[in-house]
Chains A and B, each alone.
Chain A
Amino acid sequence: MTDKLAHFVSQAPFNPMKVDELTPEQEKFYMASQWKMMWWRLRKHRLAVWSGAILLVLYASILVSECLAPYGLHTRNANFIFAPPQEVQLFHEGEFIGPFVYSLDYKLNMEILRREYTDNKNVVQPLRFFCRGDGYEFWSLFETDFHLICAAKGGTFFFLGTDRLGRDILSRIIYGTRISLTVGLVGIILSFILGISIGGAAGYFGGWVDNLAQRAIEILRSIPELPLWMGLSAALPVNWSPIAVFFGLTLILGLVDWPGLARAVRSKLLALREEDYCTAAVLMGARPRRIIYRHLLPNFMSHLIASATLSIPSMILAETALSFLGLGLRPPITSWGVLLVEAQNMEAVELYPWLLLPAIPVIITVLAFNFFGDGLRDAADPYK
């Protein structure tokens, strides 16, 4: 047999299933968990990522507020009442000496009865970093007086000015972050639990449970939120401790907010409970509780989280508004809304516009939450 075969046959191993096989990249994509895909989707949404980063920084800051703030929450500088913001300079008479502020000269103008502050260009007060300043108790564990940044010894550093008691506004905003940001979180957790339980029961059981829940939701929705919040927070006893008022307020925020979430959960469950796997679970003897939490909720958990993220800012705003009206938190608890109470008096704001500055972190936070929640909502359905 000298003849070779009439046609060429490759001896190389051949896998007939090759067409169906996935490249490593494809495999990574198809095998990825839903959360991983959400993360990939979210990463593409630039604005959402940046907003998330800002929120992360803000929330991280509440762990170490005391170190970040140059002054203590209640430190009064009796000689510097309504001092204007001090500008941070780098060059003194053309010479570089690092970040510093000029000292403030104070004069009481008897003609118009106003305090007048001017920069004294002769006295340079270099800022100190990693320094010792006002003492505080760190996480109520130990006493310390470490600060990230402080004024020069004997000098002042009011980056955003001071209020009517000579308290540093920047420090107070940093302390206020702690309360303002946690109010929303605690409130949303409560509203989340209520919304899932009530909406879940309504959607899963249907019938009179559903009817009852629906009516309750309708009734709550027909009272405009803010007046309801106002009424409820006016009901908080005046003699409660500030901490109790704080939790009372979050309770109120959560109690008024849940209908929206409950509605979403209910409508989803109504559709999902007819699915085959749900029937299978019922046949295998799973209890309603297990079916709801284990089989049904994970289907749209990501959606729920996204919409919860979107309702945190409204809680933060509600706290700010209520505190601003004097119905929410009261000093000594300090939130951004409490700080803004000082800005209620237009005459004062006209003379000392820096009293309005606590509005800026409110707007930044609300914007960040909105963008982040928006990105999250888009990412919540990664299979689109």
Chain B
Amino acid sequence: MIDYLIRRILVMILTLLVVSALVFIVIQLPEGDYLTSYIAELESQGEAADPQKIVYLQKEFNLDQPIWKQYLLWIGGILQGDFGRSIEYDLPVIDVIGEVFVFAIILNASVIAFIYIVAFPIGVYSATHQYSWGDHGLTFVGFIGLATPNFLLALILMFLAKKYLGISMGGLMDSNFENQPWTLDKVISVLEHLIVPVIVIGTSGTAGMIRRLRANLLDELHKQYVTTARAKGLSNVKLLVKYPLRMALNPFIADIGNLLPQVVSGSVIVAVILDLPTTGPVLLDALRSQDTYLAGSFLLFISLLTVFGMFLSDLLLAVLDPRIRLTGGIAK
């Protein structure tokens, strides 16, 4: 187990290193850098850029160095816990990302929790009542949920809320709580504002999860041991919970690996539309203005979240299912 853990963590670190290089290249792909667009912007406003400041900025952010050197400086800094400075905000990246990232983790964790809490009972119901009206209805709703793009759902919900309820759903909290110290009211306001994004981001994941749980449970329910148990007079609930459900849960956990990137992706775009101060809007801005270190660290953090989530799900799976041998590589 220890062996496996160490190997897994090493692979994770290696993956993240490659991801960081990839991400850095992708961000550097556009022509020019932050400074050229900065100068262009100043010029379009009819102002001339102060050459001294340009030179200073160039030095400060190593923009005069070749790309590979910039990358090495950046990754070297990260290994020492320094993520570089955001050029646009003129703050250390960690300060810009910090709070935003905490919100992002809260949001994504709530979405995952939502998916599990909703998908579990519905999936079990659908499987145990196969081809009933309830099952058909839920399947249909699930398909719609699976197919409706979450950012369109967000748009439509926002429109409906504004039109018929007269409230604006955007933002993470009521505007009067912004820049206020944390109080109970503020927490409640944040929670209220979390409901819609969680539902919007979680819909397609929930629908997919229901389909999978239903299919898995159905496979199990048709096996002979279930018939045997039923013939022996086991009560329905006990029969269900004792074996088939436990078997059907396996993919449920292994699925975090698929679910997590999907949820993170979804939260990025939904956050842009609902104007949540999480990863989405900041990342979009950083990408647009070529704020290399900010965007790079962001993408890296998002990947870290994903990779770590997959790692956790593999571990959880190994703990829950003794049949999975760690040495042979798991979840393959």
Contacts and interface: CB of A to CB of B under 8 A. Distances in A.
B159 A227 contact: no
B268 interface: yes
A298 interface: no
Please tell me the size bucket of the interface on B: 35 or more
A223 B149 contact: no
B159 A225 contact: no
B287 to A, nearest CB: 4
Contacts of A366: 147-149
A112 interface: no
Nearest to B27: A231
A363 B148 CA distance: 6
A321 B26 contact: no
A231 B295 contact: yes
B241 to A, nearest CB: 30
A206 to B, nearest CB: 14
A367 B207 CA distance: 13
A313 B147 contact: yes
Interface in A213-227: 215, 218-219, 221-227
B19 A349 contact: no
Interface string A321-332: 100110100000
B107 interface: no
A311 interface: no
B155 A227 contact: no
Contacts, number: 124
Interface string B22-39: 110011011100000000
Contacts of A227: 264-265, 268, 279, 283, 298-299, 302
B143 interface: yes
B163 interface: yes
Please tell me the size bucket of the interface on A: 35 or more
B306 A226 contact: no
A218 B311 CA distance: 12
Contacts of B27: 231, 234-235
Given A349-B159, A366-B149, A225 B265 contact: yes
Given A222-B306, A231-B299, A321-B269, A371 B155 contact: no
A381 to B, nearest CB: 15
Given A219-B18, A359-B156, A224 B302 contact: yes
A317 B146 CA distance: 12
Interface string B156-169: 10110011000010
Contacts of A367: 143-144, 147
B86 to A, nearest CB: 16
A350 B166 CA distance: 10
B130 interface: no
A230 B149 contact: no
A232 interface: yes
Contact of B15 (A222, A325, A346, A370): A222
Given A219-B19, A227-B302, A324 B159 contact: no
Interface string B235-263: 00000000000000000000000001110
Contact of B26 (A228, A350, A356): A228
Nearest to A324: B151
A371 B143 contact: yes
B307 interface: yes
A320 interface: yes
15 contacts: A215-B15, A218-B15, A222-B261, A223-B23, A223-B302, A227-B264, A227-B268, A227-B298, A228-B299, A327-B288, A346-B159, A350-B159, A353-B163, A367-B147, A371-B143
Interface of A: 215, 218-219, 221-228, 230-232, 234-237, 313, 317, 320-321, 324-325, 327, 340, 343-344, 346, 349-350, 353, 356, 359, 362-363, 366-367, 370-371
* 6 nearest A-B pairs in the assembled complex, by CB-CB distance: A235-B29, A226-B265, A224-B261, A234-B287, A224-B264, A367-B147
Interface of B: 15-16, 18-19, 22-23, 26-27, 29-31, 143-144, 146-149, 151-152, 155-156, 158-159, 162-163, 168, 170, 260-262, 264-266, 268-269, 272-273, 279, 283-284, 287-288, 295, 298-299, 302-303, 306-307, 310
Given A228-B26, A230-B283, A356-B156, 7 more contacts: A223-B22, A223-B23, A224-B268, A234-B288, A317-B149, A367-B144, A370-B146
